[in-house]
Structure 1
Amino acid sequence: MSLHGAYDPDNIFAKILRGEIPSVKVWEDDEVLAFMDVFPQSEGHVLVVSKTSKARTLLDMEPEVLTRLTAAVQRTARAVEKALKPEGFSLMQFNGEAGGQTVFHLHFHIVPRWADRAMKGHGHAPMADVEHLKALASRIVAELD
């Protein structure tokens, strides 16, 4: 998929937002959903998406929605850091297939990092145990401001 095109209302994140596919939610409000990545590149990998925008890429995102989404990413990253104590984290947002994007609903990845643990490749990590994801989400939720 290119950088430009029509939004697909049947993409996996749209289905998660409609409740058609389950997710392990970290937190949500009327505009944002933060949930655990089921194919985590690292322990505690969280995805943050807009619930109101149909933007496929950063180029499509409405500036006011991007402002709220970025604040949500920061809030979530702070909670991840407090809960899991990583030595660092990667914040990723991919645009277009050539840019590494696999789901065409704009989203941010918060990937905790430790020096002695290799990060799995984007789109190449094995599926995580749902109960483990729920336990991680609970730890992160406990640290939300």
Structure 2
Amino acid sequence: MTLPFFVYGTLRPGEPHHATFLRGRTHTEEPARLTGAVLYAGPGYPYAVEEPESVVTGELITPLPDAYGELLAALDQLEQYAPGDARNLYERVAREVVLDTDGTTRRAWVYVAAPAVAARLRTRGELIEGGDWRRR
């Protein structure tokens, strides 16, 4: 399934991983929101944890078609995600995000905390109030 990516932390424009992974590989980068998630602080990067009634701020990144496969593999590696691997820090899931510009929704890949990580964060994590990594 070819979907854009919703990014909310170090992959956002102006953040450290944006230049390394996304510069020159994107068609569009649009402000967007993910409903049904909160952010927790990690060691230099955030984790989105699915929670009803909450919102995470980020960008919807639509890759250039010829860069999609390479970018998907690079982001999976960055996020330490491998399908079905119990050691994953993140899971890549398809979720609806809302574009800030016009309120429309788009389905996108989102890296959310893997179940074991999410459980640990819910009990001992540092919540990022307001769901915006840049305003932490």
TM-score above 0.5, yes or no: no
Q: Give TM class, smaller chain.
A: 0.3 to 0.5
TM-score, length-scaled by structure 2: 0.34
Structure number with higher strand proportion? 2
